[in-house]
Amino acid sequence: MSMDRYEVCVVGAGMAGQLTALALAERGIAVALIGPSKLPSEKDPRTTALAYGTVRALRRLDVWSDLDRDAAPIERIEVNLGRQASRFREKGSATKLAFSDGLLNDQDRWEGTPLAYVVENEFLRSALHRRCARHTEICLVESPVAGLEVRSGDAVLRLEGGHTVATDLVIACDGHASRLRRASGIRTQTGDFDQDALTFTVGHTLPHMHTARQVFLPGGPLAALPLSGNRCSVIWSVRREAADSMLASGSDAIAGMAGNTLRESLGELTLHGPVVRFPLSFLYAERIYADRLALVGDTAHLIHPLAGQGFNLTVRDAATLADVLYEGRATGLAVGSTSLLVDYDRRRRADTVATAFGTRTLARALSTSERLSRTATSFGFSLVQRSDALRKLLAKEAGGDLGSLPSLMAP
C-alpha cells in the first residue's frame, strides 16, 4: 500500500494544532493537520482572553476578520484581593490593583489594539477551522493518530483505521494527556491544584466598561471577562470539594454566589447557559522536542487559567517554531533536523518557565486564606499600584508583549 508523505504533520486539530498549522503554512511550509476536527458535542462555554500580541498573529494569519465582530476589548484590568482581605489589611498595604491600555503609549501600541480581546471559544475554533480549510498549504486529515514510529530518515504516523503517513517532522498538539509525548519518553513535572474552574456566562444590569475583573477569594480566583453586550464570562476556580457542593446546589445558585462578589460592579446577574466544570492541574515538559518530534500548546505546558495565558503561550510556541523552521530551511537544513528542534527548545525556555511556574506560584499564594501570604500579596499590590513603571510592565505582560517576539507577533 502506498504511504502519503508530508514535510510536516501536526497532530491534534484543537486550537493549538490549527494555529500551528496556519503559522507554518504562512511561512510556505506544507502541513498535514491530523485529528478529529469536530467540535465537542457539549457546548464549550469558555472564552479566551487574547493578548494583543496574539491578536497581531491572528490578523496576519487572516483569522481576525472572522472574529472581530464578536470580540470584546479589554481596556482595563482590575485585580482585587476580595472582601475577606480587609481582615488582613496592614498599614501600607492595598487590596486593589488596576491597570489600563492607557499605560501603553502610542509607540507601544499597534493600530490602537487594546490590552486584550475576549472571544468565545466556539467562535475562535470555528474561525481557525475555516481558515485552515481554505489554506492551500494545509491538508486536513480527519483521523485520530494511533501510533508513531521514528526511523533513521523520517517518522511514520499510524492512523486509526490502519492508514500510515510519513513525514520529516511531527508536531504534537494532542493536548495535555498527549499520547505522542508519552510515547517519546519526554519527562514532565506534574501537579494538581485541587481546584476546578466553574465556567459560565452571565448577563448583568450595569455596563462592564470593558474591564476584566479578577477577585481573589480565599478558595481561589473569580474572574469576570467582558463579552459583547452586557455579558461577562465567569471563570471561578474553587477547591474540588467546594465545587462538588456548589454544583449540587444548582447552576442558578452558583450564579447567585458569583453575584454576591460582582454585584457592586456589574449589578444583578442572570445566568446564560450551563455551568461547566474543568479540573485544574499543572504539567510542564522538561524538553519540548525528541527525535523528529516537537511539542506545542497544552502538550508542552498546562497552566492555571488565572492569568488567561494558556493559549497565548501556545501562539508564542507556534510562531517561534515557524520562525525556526523557516530560518533553518533557508540555510539548507531539513525541518526535522535535531539542531533546529534544540533551537526551538532554547528559544521557548525562558518564557514557558516564567509563565508556567509564575502562574503556579501565584495560584497557590492567592488561593490561600493564610494571613502571612495574603498580607504579603496585599503589600505587593500597593507597591505596584504606586509605580507607573511596574504597572506598565504588567500591562505589557498581560498583552503578551514582553521580551523578543517571533515575527508573526512583532509590532
Strand runs labelled E in 240-338: 269-285, 289-290, 293-295, 301-302
Q: How many Cα atoms within 13 Å fall on the side-chain side of residue 376?
A: 9
Distance CA(365)–CA(361), nearest Å, equals: 6
Closer residue to ligand FAD (CB): 17 or 114: 17
Least distance from C-beta 288 to ligand FAD, angstroms?
A: 13
State the residue for C-alpha cell 499600584: 385
Least distance from C-beta 38 to ligand FAD, angstroms?
A: 8
Distance CA(169)–CA(290), nearest Å, equals: 10
Closer residue to ligand FAD (CB): 336 or 400: 400
Closer residue to ligand FAD (CB): 235 or 324: 235
Neighbours of 65 (CB within 10 A): 11
Closer residue to ligand FAD (CB): 82 or 297: 297
Least distance from C-beta 90 to ligand FAD, angstroms?
A: 32
Closer residue to ligand FAD (CB): 47 or 337: 47
Distance CA(224)–CA(308), nearest Å, equals: 11
Closer residue to ligand FAD (CB): 144 or 380: 144
8 neighbors 344 (Cβ within 8 angstroms)? no
Least distance from C-beta 62 to ligand FAD, angstroms?
A: 20
Nearest alpha-carbon partner for 297 in 32, 18, 61: 18
Closer residue to ligand FAD (CB): 183 or 334: 183
* DSSP letter assigned to residue 134: H
Least distance from C-beta 111 to ligand FAD, angstroms?
A: 21
Closer residue to ligand FAD (CB): 94 or 303: 303
Least distance from C-beta 310 to ligand FAD, angstroms?
A: 3
The residues of the shown chain that bind ligand FAD, judged by CB under 6 A, are 11-17, 34-36, 46, 48-49, 144-145, 173-175, 179, 197, 199, 235, 278, 297-298, 305, 308-312, 314
HEC sequence for 345-371: HHHHHHHHHHHHHHHHHHHHHHCCCCH
Least distance from C-beta 393 to ligand FAD, angstroms?
A: 19
Least distance from C-beta 376 to ligand FAD, angstroms?
A: 26
410 neighbors 57 (Cβ within 8 angstroms)? no
Distance CA(145)–CA(182), nearest Å, equals: 14
With H, G, I as helix, E, B as strand and everything else as coil, classify residue 34. Answer: strand
Across the strands, what pairs with 148? 157
**Lookup: cell for 40:** 465537542
Closer residue to ligand FAD (CB): 184 or 312: 312
167 neighbors 157 (Cβ within 8 angstroms)? yes
Distance CA(185)–CA(401), nearest Å, equals: 33
Least distance from C-beta 235 to ligand FAD, angstroms?
A: 5
Distance CA(24)–CA(89), nearest Å, equals: 50
